[in-house]
Chain A
Amino acid sequence: MKKDIVSQSSLSRRSLLRGAAGAGLLLSAPGLIGRAHAQSGDAIRLGAPFHRTGIGASYGRWYERTANAALQLINEQGGINGMPVEMIVEDDGTDPKRGVEVMEKFATEHKVDAVFGHLYSHVVAATAPRAGELKMPYFLCSEAHTLASGAFSRYCFQPSITDVKSQVVSMAPWISNNLGKKITLIYPDFNFGYDHRDNMTAAIEAQGGEVVASIAIPPTETSFTRYMPKIPFNTEAIYHVMVGPAVLTFVKELGEHLGKNRPEIFGFIDSLEGVDMNIPQLEYLEGTYFWEAMPRYAQANQTEFDKFFREKVGVDSNGASLDDPKDIATYAHMFSVWETLFAMKAAMEKADYKGPDQKIDFLEAMESITGFEESNEFPQGDKLFNGKTHQSFGHQNISKVTDGKLDVVYRTTIEETLYPDETDYTQMSF
């Protein structure tokens, strides 16, 4: 038996050496290729760190599809300033440390012109400072208020999706006028939830309403029944922003607890992105309301731009993949990838951008942009872009669940989403 082991292991050693040599080749090759590529100035190269794995994976997948569709369109239309656009995708595992590493990889190995596509706020918070240090233009497709609050640098922009603060500010008047003035907040027990809690509490009080209970739930929770008794009986409207995979359980248990005599319910679609609305587990949501940045279901008054966008990305009128009706898109967020690419294109064209030497021109051009028209390039709607805070402001939608679909009942004006500037990036140096 002993002999057996020895002979086996010597064989292994040999094959392992061979494996090691292969691994060495594997490790060195991409670095070499990277360097060879980087010399050419005949294409615009964009780094795309997507959440391919980890907790953000269902968003990441659709962000990637949307980006591919937008790039194909841009290249069909002749690229940017006559140059084709290439995209290099790296997986950041929805992990802050890996996010930073990938940013470094884009800056020093792939030598890209700009980086775009990060969503989860903790990854963004870790990566943004490095982007500034590496002097890499960094375009967020997140909703975090951190950028507009002045915490990042002049290299970071959010040209498409509106931040949490203005989403909440624009929802509060409608909620207090239509659903009720005594609100119970249910939110995840981390920063994203606190943003909602703090902004919503202030906004609803400004409307003469009152928050009767604030229920924080840890993000790892899988069962919610025991939190339900904390909802006071005098609640007129429940405001929920649960994120994470357990949301269906949350809805089901909310239904079991409250039964038919429920208060009004308003939620953020973030909870149900990528989830089919028309399943038995979500029946309880019938007649409740959701915030959507972009309506998942094609509306009766669908714009030609929305139609165009759906067709190019491959999404049907129910917000599902054309190939598989069970594969639901993260439709309320993913437009931001599309629009961000076209915003970058607009700024690059304005600066007549040819390569990294003109980085500063490109960024200043971005800051000088004041807004975007509703178009194929900006299918979510027209936008106001604030060059000082680097943040975009657009229309928000409130949709009601009707027959397992989301029907838009109110679309805010852009003015309703505005709040006073909290920073001025143009005063900072590059």
Chain B
Amino acid sequence: MDIAPYLLLATLEGLVQASVLMLTALGLSLVFGVMRVVNVAHGEFFMVGALIAWACGVYIPGPPAVGFVIGLVVAPLFVGGLAWFADWAVLKRINYNPEGTIVSTIGMLYIIQQFALLTFGPDARAVDAPFYYTIRTPWFGYSSYKLFIIVIALALVAGLWFMLRRSKVGLLMRATQFDKETAQNFGIPVDKVYSAVFAIGAMLAAIGGVLVVPNQQAHYLMGTDPLLLSFVVVIVGGLGSIPGTIAAAVLIGLSDGLLSVFFSPTLAKIVSTLLVAIVLVFKPQGLFSGKGARA
């Protein structure tokens, strides 16, 4: 294939990856930004979302679109509930101590992953896309569902943006993020804000999982990669900065797609991880934030 359509394809692929990454990373970023908590189990919320999408696709009769839409509603609700419970049962009790949270969320990671293995089984399972149409170009065919992912992700991010900037909930969250003690003094129920933020973060991951399943497959170990990548995005974008996170997701999604055009894929991954490390070393606040607090 000529280089131009090849690059076009790689760009499209990069954008699809960036969209999913944007959702999962925003979840992580929100949790980190507001609560200063590193959630190692974030990838597992993504995985549970994918498993629920699979279950909806299989057990709900009718065309695949019905199961998909139901999955898109049920998965975030269930996962949000799970996260709410985890926050109440564990994180609150250790007072969100940073190191303690890491250990606890590693514990959650083990529990969720193993539970998925016991119930869902070790095999990868596929789900039908809600619609199936291949866009044919002279050089390659491309799934229209993948373009749909980009649209949905953008809509969700716009919604989140609006919620954070314009709604009262968003205001409470931002106030808590800015200064927890002062927020408490002003009567903001910081406890509840924390629970909500943790749940919303998990829900975003779950939606990412639902969107990705028709494209990939549901598998109980699928949470690790998105976790690592989301971490990278959150850091490169600047901690807790939403525009930064979005920009970083696009940058990393695209570079991952494009680098593998020119290098062997493993070498491309080495190069991109090293690039991320170097960016962090020489610009520790992230690429996209001017000031930003020290973490």
Contact = CB atoms under 8 A, between A and B. Distances in A.
Interface of A: 53, 55, 57-58, 60-61, 189, 216-218, 220-223, 225-229, 245-249, 252-253, 256-259, 274-275, 279-281, 327-328
Interface in B87-128: 114, 117, 121-124, 126, 128
B123 A275 contact: yes
Given A245-B221, A256-B143, A279 B126 contact: yes
A226 B257 contact: yes
A10 to B, nearest CB: 16
B222 A189 contact: no
Interface string B258-269: 001100111001
A259 B136 contact: yes
B123 A249 contact: no
Given A53-B117, A257-B141, 18 more contacts: A216-B264, A216-B265, A221-B265, A222-B216, A223-B13, A223-B16, A225-B12, A226-B13, A229-B1, A245-B124, A245-B217, A246-B216, A247-B124, A248-B124, A256-B134, A256-B143, A259-B134, A259-B136
A14 to B, nearest CB: 18
Given A246-B124, A256-B141, A279-B126, A220 B9 contact: no
Contacts of B215: 223, 249
9 shortest interchain CB distances as A-B pairs: A57-B122, A245-B124, A245-B219, A229-B1, A58-B122, A281-B126, A248-B126, A256-B141, A226-B13
A327 B5 CA distance: 41
14 contacts: A53-B117, A53-B122, A189-B266, A216-B265, A223-B216, A226-B10, A229-B5, A245-B217, A245-B219, A246-B217, A249-B215, A256-B143, A280-B128, A281-B128
A258 B142 CA distance: 10
B140 interface: yes
Contacts of B255: none
A252 B143 CA distance: 10
Contacts of B265: 189, 216-218, 221, 227
A60 B217 CA distance: 20
B225 interface: yes
Interface string B131-152: 0001010011111000000000
Nearest to A60: B122
B86 to A, nearest CB: 20
A76 B136 CA distance: 61
B17 interface: yes
Nearest to A61: B122
B6 interface: yes
B27 to A, nearest CB: 19
Contacts of B141: 256-259
A205 to B, nearest CB: 22
